[in-house]
Structure formats: C-alpha cells, structure tokens
Amino acid sequence: MSDVDYRGIIRDGLWSNNVVFSQLLGLCPLMAVTTTATNGLGMGLATTAVLVLSNVLVSSGRSLIVPEVRIPVFILLIATLVTLVDMVMNAWLHELHKVLGLFIPLIVVNCSVLGRAESFASRQPVRAALVDGLMMGIGFTLALVLLGACREILGSATLFSGAPLLLGDHFSFLEMKLISDYKGVLVMMLPPGGFLVLGFLLAGKQLLDLRQKKAATAQFHCAVETTGR
C-alpha cells in the first residue's frame, strides 16, 4: 500500500489531529483520571490497546458494514472489545487490573474510539488503520500524561505518584515529591481544575501552531518574490 501516507498518519495522531488537543474528544475519561500522571499513563495505554484493536476490526469488516447501520455495529464491536480486555486483565493480569480496573469501563464512553472507527478505519486498509489507532492512542496517552503531570504538580506537588503500582517496583524512581511542605490546591484535583489546565495547554498549542504557520507563510512570500511570481 504505497499510496497510504504513513508520515501524515503519524503526524496527525501525535500532533496536528491529536485526540485531546485538536479533536477535543474523550474529555470525560480525561477529566476523571488525570489527577495524577500515573493514572493518565494507565488510562492512555488501555485506551491505545482498545483503539488499535477496534480500528483493525472495523477496517477488516469495512466491506460488509453499510453506512446505514454502521454506528450500532461500531458500538457493539467497541463495547465487546472493552469487556474482553476487562475480563482478560482481571483473570490474568490481576495486579494491573486492581490499578487500572476503575478506568477500563470508561473507555467505552471515549468517543475518540468511535470517532476513529467512523472517520478513518471504515475507509482505510487494515495496516493504515492499525498505525492510525496506535498513533492516536499514543497521542492520547501523551496528552493524558501531560495533563496529569500538570494537575499533579499544581494540586499536590508530586509527580508520578503511584507509578510502582502500575509499572512495577523498577519504576519507583519516577515517584517524586517536589515540595515537601505543600498544602495542596484542591481545585486542580477536581474536574474544574482539569478544564483550567486543559485550556492553558490548548492555548499553548495554538500559539505554537500559529507561530509555525506565520513562519511558513513568510517563507512562502519570500519564495514567491525571489522567483518573480
């Protein structure tokens, strides 16, 4: 499949069409779990797994699925996947499930999974859909970790607290206490704080994008002038 633009898919997933920062999707699980960077990471990884699987499934069944009934079919597939992931983790990755178990049902309500099935996987070959799911998932994970880290630092002056529970004891070095005598800012741990932080992060991304655009157009004008139109 040489006509698939993989670099474009990767750029879209990680930056220019990022689930959180551009599409503003999946905000419900986002606000619920990003009280710490560790929680964000766990939710991000679980969502990535579901995104990849659902994209592959939808893409491989795209010739059978007709537009009129696509939404119920997609939702059925996604809900089945999430239930399976939940059961399998509970049975065979029980320690991890104790940490992530709270978040897994939230993946069903993450509209980005349905969004990718609808706008990408249902029209693209399987391999492209797989890459897209992976990249969107990684982009979502990065956004969750970034937001979680900001809220954690502002809210309780810690970073990656609880990381050994998720990643194993090797990663206990990640756990940091930045200011030892910090009273904590409660609002940052609550959903309103999440929206505040997200707003600033969005503004930051816009600023970067605008600056890049300005630089690009300036370059374009120069090029036009030197070639004499």
Partner 1 sequence: MVAWIKPSSTVPYQTLLVGGVALLASAIISIGFQLTSGDIAKRQAEDRLVSLRQVLPSAPPGDELLRNPVTVKDEAGNDVVVYRVLKDGKVDGVAYQIIGQGYSGDIVLVIGVAPDGKLLGVRTVSHAETPGLGDKIETAKSDWVLGFAGRSLSDPPPEKWGVKKDGGVFDQFTGATITPRGVVKAVKQGLEFFDAHASEMLETSNSGASGGLHE
* Residues that bind partner 1 in the complex, under the rule CB under 8 A: 32-33, 35-36, 39, 64-66, 68-69, 72-73, 76-77, 79-80, 83-84, 87-88, 90-92, 94, 98, 102-103, 156, 162, 165, 184, 186, 189-190
In whole angstroms, the minimum distance from the beta carbon of 39 to partner 1 comes to 5
Assigned token pair, 157:
């002056």
CB closer to partner 1 out of 14 and 190: 190
Task: Please enumerate, as own/partner, the contacts of 18-24 that have beta carbons within 8 Å and a separation of 24 or more.
Answer: 18/139, 18/140, 18/142, 18/143, 19/112, 19/115, 19/136, 19/139, 19/140, 19/143, 20/139, 20/140, 20/143, 20/144, 20/147, 20/198, 21/143, 21/201, 21/202, 21/205, 22/205, 23/112, 23/115
CB closer to partner 1 out of 52 and 135: 52
Please, what's the largest Cα pairwise distance for the chain?
A: 69
CB closer to partner 1 out of 184 and 204: 184
In whole angstroms, the minimum distance from the beta carbon of 112 to partner 1 comes to 19
CA 107 to CA 86: how far, in whole Å? 10
CB closer to partner 1 out of 18 and 36: 36
Of 35, 12, 6, 8, nearest to 138 (Cα)? 12
In whole angstroms, the minimum distance from the beta carbon of 179 to partner 1 comes to 15
CB closer to partner 1 out of 78 and 131: 78
Assigned token pair, 32:
């619920």
In whole angstroms, the minimum distance from the beta carbon of 11 to partner 1 comes to 31
In whole angstroms, the minimum distance from the beta carbon of 195 to partner 1 comes to 15
